Amino acid sequence: MQKMNLSIEKNDKYVIVKLLDEKVNDNISSELKHQFIDLNNEGARNIILDLSKVSYCDSSGLNTILAGNMMCKSSNGSFVLSGLNEKVRRIIHNSQLEKVLLICPTVEEAIDLVFMEEIERDLINGTNN
């Protein structure tokens, strides 16, 4: 079993998880899902998954991405994918997941989206954080 290679950058309102492996498949999906659970348990409700190094994602990888998305949504947060290459973008498109997932071209745009969604949630909930 392959060990997952990633970097995690924790910020006040979001966490950036950057996968450094080229493939999101059975070998790392379970470990990645546990990483999302750990981050969520630590209070991270906004996760940006940077896939700029990833060139392949199989169904177990897609399931892990969907699990991360559901976890963030159930915590009233956002799960954003960024840096998709053409192959991964096509896999997500063919699975019709672009209707479910938030996708931004760059991490910077994903951060902006997270902040906009936080402001929107604050307005809806009537709080000022």
* 113 in any annotated domain: yes
Domain, as residue range, for 82: 6-125
Average of pLDDT values for 7-20? 96
128 confidence band (pLDDT: 50, 70, 90): low
What is the token pair recorded at 127?
A: 């709080």
Record the tokens describing residue 20, joined without a space: 């450094």
- pLDDT (tens digit, 9 = 90+) per residue, 19-58? 999 999 998 999 999 999 999 999 999 999 999 999 999 9
Whether 127 shows a pLDDT value over 70: the answer reads no
Look at residue 111 and tell me if it is in a domain.
Answer: yes
103: CATH:
3.30.750.24
CB 27 within 8 A of CB 2: yes
User: Residue 83 region, left (φ>0) first, then alpha (ψ -120 to 50), else beta?
Assistant: left
DSSP letter assigned to residue 69 = H
Q: With 0.85 as the threshold, say if the pTM is over it.
A: yes
Structural domain tally of the chain? 1
Residue 1 lies in a domain: no
Range 95-115 average pLDDT: 96
Predicted pLDDT of residue 29: 92
